[in-house]
Amino acid sequence: MYGSGILKGLGVTFRHLITTFIDDIQWLGRKRDVEVFQQKQSLANRGLVTVEYPEEKLAVPERFRFTPFLITYNQDDPDYPGKDWCTSCGICAKVCPPQCIWIVRGTDPKTGRPKPEPEQFYIDIDICMNCGYCAEYCPFDAIKMDHNYELASYDRTSTHIHDKARLSREIRYWQSIAPTIAAEEEAARGGYDHTDVQKARKKAGLEPSRPDPLKVKPAEPEPAPVAVAVAEAPAAAPQAEAPKAEAAPAASAAPAAPSSAAADGETPPHPGWIKRGKRWIDPNAKVEPVRRKGKSE
Amino acid sequence: MTDQVLPQVTDLPSTVAALKERFPNAVKDDTRSGYQGVIVDPAHLTEFARVIRDEFGFNYLSSVTAVDYLGHGDHLEVVYHAYRVPSGGKPLVFKAQTDRNDAVVPSLVSIYPGADFQEREAYDLYGIHFVGHPNLKRILLWEGFEGYPMRKDYHEAYYEQETKPFDSRWPGGHVFRAEEYNPFGHNVRYPAGFTLDDYKPVAEEQLQQGMALGVDIMGDPAFRTDRLIVNLGPHHPSTHGVFRMMVALTGETIESLEPVMGYLHRNHEKIGERNTWYGNMPFTDRLDYICSMANNLAYAITVEQMMGNQVSVPYRAEVIRVLMAELTRITNHLWAIGFLLNDLGAFFTPALYAIQTREYILDFFEATAGSRMMCNYMRIGGVAKDLMARIRSEAALINDKVRDMDTMEYLDKLINDRLPRSIDELDELLSESEIIKSRCIGVGLLPAEMAIAYSASGPLLRASGVPYDIRRADPYSIYPELEFDICTRPNGDIYDRYYLRLDEMRQSVRILKQILPRLKDTQGQPIFGGKTSYSIKVPAGEAYGHAENPKGELGFYCVSTGGGNPWRYHVRAPSFINLTPLGEMCKGQKVADVVAILGSIDIVLGETDR
Ligand code: SF4
Ligand code: SF4
Q: What is the pLDDT of residue B570?
A: 93
Lowest mean pLDDT of A52-56, A183-187, B117-121, B349-353, name the range: A52-56
Answer yes or no: do A149 and A39 share one domain.
no
Given A16, A44, A60, the domain boundary residue is: A60
The verdict on whether omega for the bond into residue A271 sits within 30 degrees of 0, i.e. cis, is no
Q: What is the pLDDT of residue A225?
A: 42
Q: Which ligand is nearest to the CA of A130?
A: 2
Q: What is the pLDDT of residue A293?
A: 42
Cα A227 to the chain's mean position, in Å?
24
Q: What is the pLDDT of residue A56?
A: 76
Q: What is the pLDDT of residue A272?
A: 62
Of the residues B398, B419, B439, B498, the best mutation for testing chain A's interface (the one with the most A CB atoms within 10 Å of its CB) is B398
> Do B331 and B293 meet the contact criterion of CB atoms below 8 Å apart?
no
Q: Place B181 in a pLDDT band, splitting at 50, 70 and 90.
A: confident
B574-590 mean pLDDT: 89
Answer yes or no: do A55 and A77 share one domain.
no
Nearest chain A CA: its distance from B585 CA (Å): 27
Q: Which residues contact A39 (CB under 8 A, 6 or more apart)?
A: A45
Q: What is the pLDDT of residue A260?
A: 42
Answer yes or no: do A93 and A133 share one domain.
yes
B4 against B21, higher pLDDT: B21
Nearest chain A CA: its distance from B553 CA (Å): 25
Answer yes or no: do A155 and A52 share one domain.
no
CB contact under 8 A, B396 and A289: yes
Is residue B272 pLDDT above 60, yes or no? yes
Q: What atom of ligand 1 comes closest to residue A138's alpha carbon?
A: 1
Q: Tens digits of per-residue pLDDT, B185-225?
A: 777 888 888 888 888 776 666 655 544 444 454 455 555 55
Pocket of ligand 1 contains residue A231 by CB under 6 Å: no
Q: What is the pLDDT of residue A135?
A: 92
B128-138 mean pLDDT: 88
DSSP state of B475: -
What is the distance between the alpha carbons of residues B58 and A199, in angstroms, rounded to a whole number? Answer: 63
What percent of chain B stands above pLDDT 70?
A: 92
Q: List, as own/partner pairs, every contact residues B368-373 make where C-beta atoms lie below 8 angstroms and the sequence separation is at least 24, other chains included.
A: B368/A63, B368/B407, B369/A63, B369/B293, B370/A61, B370/A63, B370/A64, B370/A65, B370/A132, B370/A145, B371/A64, B371/A65, B371/A130, B373/B285, B373/B289, B373/B290, B373/B292
Say how many CA atoms lie within 13 Å of A146 toward its Cβ: 19
Candidate from A134, A137, A148, A160 with most ligand 2 atoms within 8 A of CB, to mutate: A134
DSSP state of B418: I
Query: Cα torsion at A47, A53, A58, A60 (round to 10°)?
Result: 150
Helix (H) or strand (E) holding B340: helix B315-344
> Do A52 and A100 meet the contact criterion of CB atoms below 8 Å apart?
no
What is the distance between the alpha carbons of residues A160 and A63, in angstroms, rounded to a whole number? Answer: 23
β-partners of residue B548 are B553
Answer yes or no: do A125 and A56 share one domain.
no
Q: What is the pLDDT of residue B433?
A: 87
**Which CATH number does the domain housing residue A154 bear?**
3.30.70
- Domains of chain B, by residue range, sit at 12-131, 276-587
Q: What is the pLDDT of residue B8?
A: 41
Is residue B418 pLDDT above 60, yes or no? yes
Q: What is the pLDDT of residue A3?
A: 83
Domain presence at residue A235: no
Domain presence at residue A46: yes
Pocket of ligand 1 contains residue A140 by CB under 6 Å: yes
Fold classified for B12-131: Beta Polymerase; domain 2 (3.30.460)
Assess A41–B contact: CB distance below 8 Å, yes or no.
Answer: yes
Class level of CATH domain B276-587: mainly alpha
Residue whose C-alpha is closest to residue B92's, from B56, B116, B44, B66: B56
Answer yes or no: do A178 and A198 share one domain.
yes
- Residue among A61, A180, A289 minimizing CB distance to B403: A61
Q: What is the mean pLDDT of each run of 10 residues along chain A (297 residues)?
A: 86 89 81 75 79 79 89 85 88 91 86 83 89 91 89 80 87 86 88 85 83 63 42 39 38 38 52 60 48 40
pTM: 0.85
Domain presence at residue A75: yes
Q: Which residues of A57-68 are buried (b: 16+ CB within 10 A; e: fewer)?
A: bbbbbbbbbbbb
Assess A165–B contact: CB distance below 8 Å, yes or no.
Answer: no
Answer yes or no: do A36 and A74 share one domain.
no
Is residue B274 pLDDT above 70, yes or no? yes
Domain presence at residue A185: yes
Pocket of ligand 1 contains residue A236 by CB under 6 Å: no
Q: Place B558 in a pLDDT band, splitting at 50, 70 and 90.
A: very high
Q: What is the pLDDT of residue A276?
A: 61
Assess A88–B contact: CB distance below 8 Å, yes or no.
Answer: yes
Assess A30–B contact: CB distance below 8 Å, yes or no.
Answer: no
Pocket of ligand 2 contains residue A49 by CB under 6 Å: no
B117-143 mean pLDDT: 89
Lowest mean pLDDT of A76-80, B131-135, B367-371, name the range: A76-80
Q: What is the pLDDT of residue A244?
A: 38
Answer yes or no: do A75 and A41 share one domain.
no
Helix (H) or strand (E) holding B357: helix B349-369
Domain presence at residue A139: yes
Domain presence at residue A217: no
> Do A237 and A231 meet the contact criterion of CB atoms below 8 Å apart?
no
**What mean pLDDT value characterizes chain B?**
85
What is the distance between the alpha carbons of residues B470 and B486, in angstroms, rounded to a whole number? Answer: 10
Domain that holds residue A46: 31-60
Q: What is the pLDDT of residue A284?
A: 55
Classify strands A68-72 and A143-145 as parallel, antiparallel or unpaired.
antiparallel
Answer yes or no: do A83 and A49 share one domain.
no
Lowest mean pLDDT of A150-159, A232-241, B269-278, B467-476, name the range: A232-241
Answer yes or no: do A108 and A167 share one domain.
yes
> How many other β-carbons are positioned within 10 Å of the β-carbon of residue A86?
25
Residue whose C-alpha is closest to residue B291's, from B528, B499, B544, B573: B573
What is the distance between the alpha carbons of residues A232 and B478, in angstroms, rounded to a whole number? Answer: 53
Is residue B314 pLDDT above 80, yes or no? yes
B369-389 mean pLDDT: 89
Q: What is the pLDDT of residue A273?
A: 61
What is the distance between the alpha carbons of residues A41 and A35, in angstroms, rounded to a whole number? Answer: 10
Q: What is the pLDDT of residue B559?
A: 92
β-partners of residue A281 are A274
Lowest mean pLDDT of B218-227, B290-299, B474-483, name the range: B218-227
- Residue among A38, A124, A147 minimizing CB distance to B395: A147
Please count the structural domains in chain A: 2
DSSP for chain A reads -TTHHHHHHHHHHHHHHHHHHHHHHHTTT-TT-HHHHHHHTSTT--S-----TTTS-PPPPTT---SEEEEE--TT-SSSTT-B------HHHHH-TT--EEEEEEE-TTT--EEEEEEEEEEETTT-----HHHHH-TTS-EEE--------S-HHHHSEE-HHHHEEEHHHHHHH-HHHHHHHHHHHTSSS-HHHHHHHHHTTS-S----HHHHS-S------HHHHHHHHHHHS-GGGHHHHHHS-TT---TT--HHHHHHT---SSTT-EEETTEEE-SSSPPPPPP--TT--
Pocket of ligand 2 contains residue A129 by CB under 6 Å: yes
Nearest chain A CA: its distance from B305 CA (Å): 22
Residues of B within 8 A of A184 (CB-CB) are none
Q: What is the pLDDT of residue A221?
A: 47
What is the distance between the alpha carbons of residues A228 and A231, in angstroms, rounded to a whole number? Answer: 5
> How many other β-carbons are positioned within 10 Å of the β-carbon of residue B362?
16
Residues of B within 8 A of A277 (CB-CB) are 396-397
Q: What is the pLDDT of residue B209?
A: 56
What percent of chain B stands above pLDDT 90?
A: 34
Domain presence at residue A2: no
Q: Which ligand is nearest to the CA of A70?
A: 1
In angstroms, how far is the first alpha carbon of chain B from the final one? Answer: 34
Pocket of ligand 2 contains residue A128 by CB under 6 Å: yes
What is the distance between the alpha carbons of residues B16 and B95, in angstroms, rounded to a whole number? Answer: 13
Answer yes or no: do A143 and A81 share one domain.
yes
> Do B337 and B504 meet the contact criterion of CB atoms below 8 Å apart?
no
Lowest mean pLDDT of A146-160, B495-509, B536-550, name the range: A146-160
The verdict on whether omega for the bond into residue A54 sits within 30 degrees of 0, i.e. cis, is yes
Domain presence at residue A24: no
Residues of B within 8 A of A292 (CB-CB) are 398
